[in-house]
Amino acid sequence: MAESLQQQLVDSTCKENDENMECAVCLQRCIHPAQLPCGHIFCFLCVKGFANQNKKCAMCRQEIPKDFIDQPNLLEFSIPLENSEGVENDFQWFYEGRNGWWQYDERASEEIEEAFKLGIPSFELIICGELYVIDFKHKFQYPKRNSSRKRSIKRDKINNVVVKGVAGLR
Ligand SMILES: [Zn+2]
Ligand SMILES: [Zn+2]
């Protein structure tokens, strides 16, 4: 009896966490949440950011397996992009990768769209822990500290673009 009550409590706590799951790195709702072997959950892009730096969990310092970024343990409860309402008619933002167009993650795409609608020529955005310049005028992005690494960007409807994936996820 006591045990099942405890189980219930655990279940409801987990559910609550799923809905408001906050990433301890960017302090926003997790986008493409990924769970590390230690159990901590972050946005996939945030994991990618700190995994590249010191290969350790940002919360508990447990080592991140080498293949985690290639085979992340992604949790399924984030709303997939294609299921969100009216997204087919919304403009999305894409950047050019090695072999095609990639879609920015939802949050980046929204921020870029907002800035674009303001009509400003360029703005700065943190992607994967690095500051990028999004240049609307010339239609490319580059890391602020290395303007030679330019990539083309474009704004289009999702149905018009053959996308390789979202933010490095296939
Ligand atoms: Zn995050
Ligand atoms: Zn951890």
- For residue range 111-146, list pLDDT tens digits in order: 999 899 888 999 999 887 889 999 999 999 999 999
Mean pLDDT of all residues in the chain?
A: 80
pLDDT digits over 72-118, tens only? Answer: 888 865 444 444 455 556 788 999 987 888 889 888 988 999 899 88
What is d(CA 97, CA 78) in angstroms, rounded to the nearest whole number?
24
Q: In what order do the strands lie in the sheet with 130-135?
A: 122-127, 130-135, 140-143, 151-157, 91-97, 100-103, 163-166
Instruction: Assess contact for 101 and 73: CB atoms under 8 A.
Output: no
* Distance of alpha carbon 58 from the chain centroid: 16
What distance in angstroms lies between residue 128's CA and the mean position of ligand 2's atoms?
Answer: 18
Alpha carbon distances (Å) from 85 to 25, 81, 165: 28, 9, 19
What distance in angstroms lies between residue 85's CA and the mean position of ligand 1's atoms?
Answer: 23
Give me the DSSP letters along 80-109: PGGGSTTGGGSEEEEEEETTEEEEPPHHHH
> CATH topology of 1-78 equal to that of 84-166?
no
Please name the residues in contact with 66: beta carbons below 8 A apart, sequence gap of 6 or more.
Answer: 55
Residues with CB under 5 A from ligand 2 (ion): 38, 40, 57, 59-60, 62
What is d(CA 66, CA 52) in angstroms, rounded to the nearest whole number?
10
Q: Where are the domains positioned within the chain?
A: 1-78, 84-166
Which ligand lies nearest to the CA atom of residue 40 in the structure? 2
Q: Which fold has domain 84-166?
A: 3.30.720
Q: Which fold has domain 1-78?
A: Herpes Virus-1 (3.30.40)
What is d(CA 103, CA 109) in angstroms, rounded to the nearest whole number?
8
**Quick one: pLDDT band at residue 20, thresholds 50, 70, 90?**
low
What distance in angstroms lies between residue 66's CA and the mean position of ligand 2's atoms?
Answer: 15
Residue 51 scores a pLDDT above 70: yes
